[in-house]
Amino acid sequence: MSESAPQSISLDDLPLAQLQNIKSQLEAEISEMTSAFSQMKQAQSAFRECKNCINSMTETKDKTIMIPLSNSLYVPGKLSNIDSVVVDVGTGYYVEKSTADAAKYYDGKIEYVQSNAQKIQETVEQKQASYRGLLDVMQYKITQQQRQGTAKDTGVTA
C-alpha cells in the first residue's frame, strides 16, 4: 500500500466561505500558540528567579530574612545550611539537592523551556505569515466580487 502525500489546494480555488473558516481556524491556532509562548516565558522567568535565589544564598547566610508562611504571613528567620536546598521537581515531588546541583537543574530547565519557546515562536511566525497570505487572497476575492457586482449593475462586462 502506498501512502499519498497530502494534497495542496490553492487558496485561489476555494470559495470565500471556506477561506473564512480557514481564517477562523488560523486565528484560534495563533491565539493558542501565543498563550503557550507566554506561559513558557513565565515558566522560564520562574526558573531564572529560582536560580538567582540559589546564587544569592551565600549573601544571606546568618542574616535575618523573611520566611513566607502564606501569601501574606511572614516570620523572621536565618539560613543555617546553604549547602543544600529542596527543589520542587513537579507534581508534588520534592528532591533535596546540593546548591550546585540545584543550579544545574534550573539551568537545564531554563534551556529546555527556551528551546520550546523558540519552536513555538517560529510556528507562530509561520502561522502569521499564512494568515497574512490568506487575508490577501480574501481581499482579492472580495474586490473581484465587488467589481462583478458593479459590472452587473452598470451592464458592463469585464
Q: Which of 133, 145, 54 has its CA nearest to residue 101?
A: 54
pLDDT digits (tens, 9 = 90+) for 46-77: 999 999 999 888 777 778 889 899 999 999 98
R_g over Cα of the chain? 28
Place of cell 528551546: 115
Q: Cα(5)–Cα(8) distance, rounded to whole angstroms?
A: 9
Q: Cα(131)–Cα(25) distance, rounded to whole angstroms?
A: 10
What torsion, rounded to 10 degrees, do the Cα atoms 88, 91, 112, 86 define? Answer: 10
**How do the pLDDT tens digits run along the chain, 158 residues long?**
555 556 677 777 888 889 999 999 999 999 999 999 999 999 999 999 999 999 888 777 778 889 899 999 999 988 888 899 999 998 999 999 999 999 999 999 999 999 999 999 999 999 999 999 999 999 998 998 888 877 666 555 54
Q: Cα(148)–Cα(155) distance, rounded to whole angstroms?
A: 10
Strands (E), the chain: 64-68, 74-78, 84-90, 93-98
- Cα-Cα-Cα-Cα dihedral sign, residues 143, 147, 152, 158: negative
Helices 99-154, 16-60: axis angle to 10 degrees equals 160
Q: Cα(32)–Cα(24) distance, rounded to whole angstroms?
A: 12
Place of cell 513558557: 40
Would you state the cell numbers that stand for residue 72, as one nine-digit string? 501574606
Instruction: Please return the burial class of 69, using the count of CB atoms within 10 Å of its CB with bins 0-12, 13-18 and 19+.
Output: exposed
The reported pTM is 0.74
